[in-house]
Amino acid sequence: MASQADTVIIGGGVGGTALGALLASAGQRVILVEKNRIIGGRCASYTRDGFVVDVGVHLFGLGEKGPLGEVCRRAGEPEAISWVLARHPRVSVHFRGQTQAFTREMMSANVKKNELGNLARIMLQVMQMKEEELSRLWHTPLREWLAGFTADPSVHGLFAMLCGIYFCITPEVASAAEFIRTLREVMAARSSAYPRGGCGAIPRAFQRILEKHGGEARLGCPAEKILIEQGRARGVMAGGEVIEAGRVVSNADIKATIGGLAGAEHFPSDYVQRIQGLTWTAHVVALKVALDTKVTDQKMIMYLPDLSEEEMAKLQRQYLEGGSLPMVAGGMLNSPTNFDPDLAPPGRQLIFFGTRCERHQDWGKWGEIMMDALCQVFPGIEKHVLWTALDSPDTVERYAGEEGNVIGVGQTVDQIHERRPHHQTPVKDLFLCSAEAGGHGIGTELAASSALELAEKLL
């Protein structure tokens, strides 16, 4: 006999679990199916030798004040996730052999003196721009907007770093409005944070809310087919069983959902063409290092290699053009155990390092390049290494699909605002909920934002 639900959700990433929590807490009968045996997708955690290890490298820009916290509040569980703020010490930058707090003063100290006025004007615009003016910048590239203030490489480099950390795309294609809006929110909230228990604590909290209100989360249960009759989604075939439902929501790969699970024949050809033509964010490779002792009190560091302008230009070309491995790697480092010591055995430490990469490369060589970078930031760290692990795009592909990209559909000028995929598909009662449909913000917060938007429509 088939299972029955008001809503069946395909995929247990942040978007899927958040929506499940919101709908179940509102009284709906929800069944969520997830192909992996670990909940969370790109925001999952696993254990190794007594360490709790995240998939990828994460810090949450708005923390409790953002959409992840809002999901808990609307579901009636405001304390479901325990957050540790990225303060004491705050987010830092390692540049020219020094680690220093990432402040406006630090930004000013690393641009030319004659550019300080331009930098100040940019930041003033970010904080004071009115919505009417912001609305005209959705489809303007960030680099083009910045060029209206300055052509200086040091200023552009600072914002390229932030843009890469936020959206995993370059300023040449990123939406100026989305960047300005996001940066303004992060600066105003002052709540960048990390969850106790590791990143997997976020989707697990949503799963607990879902199950508390009578919903089901079926792990190790891959969706095989979305059942469509007479232009309407009727349910899902998952784990060899039919689940009948009043509506179907996919938190899975948007291209695989439309072209595979549902079947392209059920959609207008121009819609299928648009979905299949969407571009992903960049890929990221993440080095995980377990240490036998604590080597730093820093929680999060943005590492900028100490290169000449000519060398930096060459490195940027390598990143933009792809193909060859870079000579050095800059990126984002964090120590989850400095947020939550219980993520490691007593006296030990975890350090994660993430940087942009191409889809298919020599991952062994990448590991060497990234370990060299860690030795620049933390001299002598190699003496304390217990083990290392590398999360490549292949790892993300296994968990989340989407060719192993780090977020989903890029927040580019041609894929933002009204040009972004909508939650509602042309098939009645078939919806999308993820970092690929609607939403706003950074990574997992983008996915939670999508869930909040869709829950409002459905409820």
Q: Given pLDDT bands bounded at 50, 70 and 90, which one contains residue 433?
A: very high
pLDDT tens digits for range 40-61: 999 999 999 999 999 988 899 9
The DSSP line for 331-391 is EEEE-HHHH-GGGSSTT-EEEEEEEEE-SS--HHHHHHHHHHHHHHHSTTGGGGEEEEEEE
Q: Given pLDDT bands bounded at 50, 70 and 90, which one contains residue 321?
A: low
Residues 6 or more apart whose CB falls under 8 angstroms from that of 118 comprise: 149, 150, 152, 155
State the pLDDT at residue 186.
94
pLDDT tens digits for range 157-184: 889 888 988 999 999 999 999 999 999 9
Least confident range of 18-32, 169-183, 359-373, 410-424: 359-373
Per DSSP, 426 falls in state S
Residue among 32, 430, 275 nearest 454 (CA): 430
Two tokens, residue 181: 């809006």
pLDDT tens digits for range 81-105: 999 998 876 666 666 666 766 666 6
Query: What integer is the mean pLDDT of 1-10?
Result: 88
Query: What integer is the mean pLDDT of 364-368?
Result: 91
State the pLDDT at residue 317.
58
User: Are the C-beta atoms of residues 195 and 224 closer than 8 Å to each other?
Assistant: no
State the pLDDT at residue 358.
83
Q: Given pLDDT bands bounded at 50, 70 and 90, which one contains residue 312?
A: low
Strand pairing category for 232-238 and 349-357: unpaired
Rounded distance between C-alpha atoms, residue 60 and residue 39, angstroms:
18
Two tokens, residue 357: 């990469």
362 exposure class (CB count in 10 Å sphere: 0-12, 13-18, 19+): exposed
Q: Given pLDDT bands bounded at 50, 70 and 90, which one contains residue 398?
A: confident
The DSSP line for 117-170 is HHHHHHHHHHHH--HHHHHTTTTSBHHHHHHTT---HHHHHHHHHHHHHHHSS-
State the pLDDT at residue 12.
97
Residue among 366, 279, 374 nearest 318 (CA): 366
pLDDT surpassing 90 at residue 67: yes
Cα 20 to the center of its chain, rounded Å:
19
Query: What integer is the mean pLDDT of 213-238?
Result: 97
- As a whole-number percent, the residues of the chain with pLDDT over 90 amount to 73
User: Are the C-beta atoms of residues 126 and 133 closer than 8 Å to each other?
Assistant: no
State the pLDDT at residue 158.
82
The DSSP line for 189-232 is H---EEETT-TTHHHHHHHHHHHHTT-EEEET--EEEEEEETTE
Query: What integer is the mean pLDDT of 364-387?
Result: 92
The residue assigned the tokens 């989340």 is 400
